[in-house]
Amino acid sequence: MRTKIILTLFFLCCCACSQAQQVKHRKIQKVLILGNSIVAHDPSPAIGWNASWGMAASVADSDFVSILTKHIHLERKKAVVKRQNISVFENFYPTYDLTQLKPFREMKPDLLIIKIAENVKDSSAVSNDFAGYYKKLIDYLDPENKAIKVLVDGFWTNHHVNGIVKDLAKDRGYDFVSIAGLSADKTNMAIGQFEHEGVASHPSDKGMRLIAEAIWNTIDKYF
């Protein structure tokens, strides 16, 4: 009986190692990064934002998606990296029509990075079952459950929402990246660079670089 148990454990360990190796060496060619204004924001002159990249990077190449893309292309030159602002989902997740994201579902990404949290109302995230709707979002984007998933929490302190994101990643076995502590250092925000308080509270070039590094340090094993 003891021998049987040992052999069973050995078999399970071997399978686990094999699966881990398969994931590690998976040929990632398509990367999808979904988020909010930190990922991308169209020009909005009313608030003093006149660019179309991640708010509030000073230039396009300084936002975290651009920096992360450079890391990816150094390892996988022909990899396709797409980004999309889905802040509408954050604000209206109970009624959001997921079919609006059909083009990204059809993309069938090999690596799916989702960086949302900041626009979700913290006080009602639990009672409104944000976790449940977040799961539906992921399942819609990857119905065959083939993509590697990476969930990133919020840049600003948003205790309930950040906890939900962390727990969801743990429960489903996804990679989790926490950037919640970055906003504690004011130099990681674009304070003084924009008159509008909302824009200025977004990541500075330094903050964007740190976000990119945190994510890359998690996903580099897949390249």
User: What's the pLDDT score for residue 26?
Assistant: 66
- Per-residue pLDDT tens for 124-173? 999 999 999 999 999 999 999 999 999 999 999 888 999 999 999 999 99
User: What's the pLDDT score for residue 211?
Assistant: 98
In 3D space, the residue among 112, 183, 202 whose CA is nearest the CA of residue 148 turns out to be 112
Evaluate if residue 66 carries a pLDDT over 90. Answer: yes
Say what the pTM is. Answer: 0.89
Domain annotation covers residue 5: no
Domain annotation covers residue 21: no
The Cα–Cα gap between 38 and 19 comes to 34
Beta-sheet pairing, 30-35 with 80-85: parallel
User: What's the pLDDT score for residue 27?
Assistant: 87
Instruction: Work out how many domains the chain is built from and give that number.
Output: 1
Q: What backbone torsions phi and psi does residue 64 show, to the nearest 5 degrees?
A: -65, -30
Domain annotation covers residue 13: no
The CATH number covering residue 132 comes to 3.40.50.1110
Return the H-helix or E-strand segment holding 177: strand 175-177
User: What's the pLDDT score for residue 25?
Assistant: 53
Q: Predicted confidence band at 34 (pLDDT cuts at 50, 70, 90)?
A: very high
- Could you tell me the residue range of the domain that residue 203 belongs to? 28-222
- Per-residue pLDDT tens for 67-113? 999 999 999 999 999 999 999 999 999 999 999 999 999 999 999 99
Alpha helix locations (H) across 34-182?
64-75, 87-92, 102-107, 130-141, 159-172
Domain annotation covers residue 4: no
Domain annotation covers residue 11: no
Beta-sheet pairing, 111-115 with 148-152: parallel
- Per-residue pLDDT tens for 9-28? 333 444 334 324 445 556 89
Domain annotation covers residue 120: yes
The Cα–Cα gap between 54 and 52 comes to 7
Return the H-helix or E-strand segment holding 23: helix 2-24
User: What's the pLDDT score for residue 4?
Assistant: 41
**115 Cβ neighbours under 8 A, 6+ residues apart:** 33, 34, 35, 36, 38, 39, 152, 211, 215
Beta strands in 22-115 (DSSP E): 30-35, 80-85, 111-115
Domain annotation covers residue 156: yes
Domain annotation covers residue 18: no
Give residue 66's identity as a one-letter amino acid code.
S
Helix axis angle, 159-172 to 130-141, nearest 10°: 50
